[in-house]
Chain A
Amino acid sequence: MIRVLKLSARSSLTVGTMYICAAIALSACRPHGGSTTNDEMRALPTERQLASLPLGEIAGAAKLRSPDEIPNPLEGNAAAISEGHQLFISMNCAGCHGYDAKGGMGPNLTDKFWRYGGMPSSIYKSIDEGRPQGMPAWGRTLPAQDIWKIVAFIETLGGAVAAKQYHAGLQGDHDVTFVAPEAESLLGVFDRAGGGAAVVGIDAGSAPAAASPQREP
């Protein structure tokens, strides 16, 4: 009997130790959470960057500078797009813009007409700030990351403008087959070599280039 008890105790100890070891081993495995890590969060555009993006064209002869290019850090990220689609439904975007995003109470998000700009940062701002004809401001409700996920989803719908296409977006340059020479440079006749007009602050990168559709001057 004593032998039995001793063996029992040893068995119990063995079993117990096994459990403890397993627990320690398993606890070291932290499940990897979410679709974005802290690294990706650091890469989100800042409030300041977004604030510097104007809605209209930059006034005057300041042809030369486009606002900084502000890409969507989650663009093309499959998990973000899927989550953005989920948010599109759960935040009632689909209720106004349609489950197919082709519009209803709110405008069509799949076409190339963007009243407030179709670049990712413009779409972000429309969601973040709201717009006058009934688009609510989501910036206080949704964290920036979630809004970028929704933008990533909208970018897959076919109508959005690329992040660097500030001028092309404002000028309606989609589906362009040929760019006439006059239209290649932003200020037209003022840009001609030997022209008399004083042009302020020429940006070297803005020289007219060979005709190619949708090329940014």
Chain B
Amino acid sequence: MMPMRGCRITGLACIVALSACSYAPMTYMRTYGPAADPVTSLGWGLTIICSLVVALIGVLVLIATLRARVARGLLSTIPIAHPGGGLRWIYIGTGLSTLVLFALVVWTMFTLAAVASAPERPAFTIEIRAHQWWWEARYIDDASDRTFLTANELHIPIGKPVQLRLIGDDVIHSFWIPALAGKTDVIPGQTNSAWLEATQGGTFRGQCTEYCGAQHAHMAEFVIAESEADFDSWWTRQLADAPVPTSKLPALGESIFLARCAACHTVRGTGAGGIVGPDLTHLMSRRTLGAGTVPNDPESLAHWIVNAQAVKPGCRMPALDLSHEEVAAVTSYAQTLL
């Protein structure tokens, strides 16, 4: 019995530890930003302390059991009074527990305070509007003309806190980037606040964590943390209008796009101003389509355009009745939206 129990515990601990090291994009075991690190530390701290407590209690129970066995051997002597000291142990145990728990409460309070808001004035704000089943993001700067819209993929500078404003468009969603920040619900009619900061570069994946309909499972977001210089140049590129297509096929694609797609999608620099679907001005700067459903490569893009319902059934983009030539043209146009 004894060795089995101990082995199971150790085994579990090993799995947990292993999973932290392996490729698990949605792991919250290791975090990379001050909006999440305190919580992770607290989590690990609680795990270790609780494990120690369990181990200690296990040892004490062990000792008690062994002592009981020894005592049972002297059956001739019926003990009337137990040799004293039991109450002292209770006092010690309760006292220690109280102290430890109180310390944990204090630690938790500090953790909550630390993650409640950004430590310094955030560099800028991203207003995130959650739709079924994609994330609209508006980057807001003090200068109005540096405000722009994008979708599903956020870039942030390393080491700088970023303020998030979360607004639900239709139903309740929840915003969660496990490696960077805890879950915050995104509720229609209410603006919730959160913040993000990444201490190292990389791509961090997030997921909608409040069931929101048929494609809830395909509502991912990506946060890419990069150096300040890279981030600034990304922002500047995002502000630019879409280029005018210079060759024939993309030009044909643009005219089809304006007739068939512009009522729902925006491409800045053209008359396409739809806000029902994501802003596509810089579609090719994003790594996935459909909020992480498929990678953003030419084949997936063509499949998506022809019949988004086959790729992400129930999503708001209807199946379009396009000929092969039209699909090729629109795909080729979409690929100019860098």
| Residues of chain A at the chain B interface (Cβ within 8 Å) | 3-4, 7-8, 11-12, 15, 30-34, 90-91, 140-143, 145-146
Residues of A within 8 A of B3 (CB): 3
Residues of B within 8 A of A15 (CB): 15
Residue from the list A8, A31, A32, A143 in contact with B321, Cβ < 8 A: A143
Q: List 19 A-B contacts (CB under 8 A).
A: A4-B10, A7-B7, A8-B10, A11-B12, A12-B14, A30-B313, A31-B214, A31-B314, A32-B214, A32-B314, A33-B309, A34-B309, A34-B314, A90-B276, A91-B263, A140-B259, A141-B263, A142-B263, A143-B318
**Bound-state Cα–Cα, A11 to B19, Å:** 13
Size category of the binding interface on chain B: 20 to 34
Q: Which 10 A/B pairs are nearest by Cβ-Cβ distance?
A: A33-B314, A33-B313, A8-B11, A31-B214, A11-B11, A7-B7, A4-B7, A143-B318, A141-B263, A34-B314
| Distance (whole angstroms) from the CB of A73 to the closest CB of chain B | 15
B244 located at the interface, meaning its Cβ lies under 8 Å from any Cβ of chain A in the complex: no
Known: A12-B15, A141-B263, A143-B321. A31 touches B313 (CB 8 A): yes
B321 and chain A: residue at smallest CB distance: A143
B50 located at the interface, meaning its Cβ lies under 8 Å from any Cβ of chain A in the complex: no
User: A32-B214, A33-B215, A143-B320 known; 8 other A-B pairs, CB under 8 Å?
Assistant: A8-B11, A15-B15, A31-B214, A31-B313, A33-B309, A34-B313, A141-B260, A142-B263
A7 touches B318 (CB 8 A): no
Known: A33-B214, A141-B259, A141-B263. A8 touches B14 (CB 8 A): yes
Q: B1-37 vs A: 1/0 string, CB under 8 Å?
A: 0011011101110110010000000000000000000
**Bound-state Cα–Cα, A141 to B320, Å:** 10
B314 touches A8 (CB 8 A): no
| Residues of chain B at the chain A interface (Cβ within 8 Å) | 3-4, 6-8, 10-12, 14-15, 18, 214-215, 217, 259-260, 262-264, 276, 309, 312-315, 318-321
Residue from the list A4, A33, A141, A146 in contact with B11, Cβ < 8 A: A4
Residues of A within 8 A of B4 (CB): 7
Residues of A within 8 A of B313 (CB): 30-34
| Distance (whole angstroms) from the CB of A44 to the closest CB of chain B | 11
Residues of B within 8 A of A8 (CB): 7, 10-11, 14-15
| Distance (whole angstroms) from the CB of A33 to the closest CB of chain B | 3
Residues of A within 8 A of B12 (CB): 11
A31 touches B15 (CB 8 A): no
Residue from the list B8, B260, B262, B318 in contact with A11, Cβ < 8 A: B8
Residues of A within 8 A of B309 (CB): 33-34
**Bound-state Cα–Cα, A146 to B319, Å:** 11
**Bound-state Cα–Cα, A7 to B215, Å:** 39
Residues of A within 8 A of B262 (CB): 141
| Distance (whole angstroms) from the CB of B259 to the closest CB of chain A | 5
Known: A31-B313, A32-B314. A143 touches B263 (CB 8 A): no
B6 and chain A: residue at smallest CB distance: A4
B320 and chain A: residue at smallest CB distance: A143
Residues of B within 8 A of A12 (CB): 11, 14-15, 18
| Distance (whole angstroms) from the CB of B168 to the closest CB of chain A | 15
Residues of B within 8 A of A34 (CB): 309, 313-314
**Bound-state Cα–Cα, A143 to B276, Å:** 15
B318 touches A146 (CB 8 A): yes
**Bound-state Cα–Cα, A8 to B18, Å:** 11
| Distance (whole angstroms) from the CB of B262 to the closest CB of chain A | 7
A11 and chain B: residue at smallest CB distance: B11
Residues of B within 8 A of A91 (CB): 263
A15 and chain B: residue at smallest CB distance: B15
**Bound-state Cα–Cα, A91 to B10, Å:** 60
| Distance (whole angstroms) from the CB of A121 to the closest CB of chain B | 19
**Bound-state Cα–Cα, A146 to B260, Å:** 13
**Bound-state Cα–Cα, A41 to B217, Å:** 26
| Distance (whole angstroms) from the CB of B330 to the closest CB of chain A | 13
Residues of A within 8 A of B321 (CB): 143
Residues of B within 8 A of A143 (CB): 318-321
Residues of B within 8 A of A11 (CB): 8, 11-12, 15
**Bound-state Cα–Cα, A66 to B29, Å:** 71
**Bound-state Cα–Cα, A27 to B318, Å:** 23
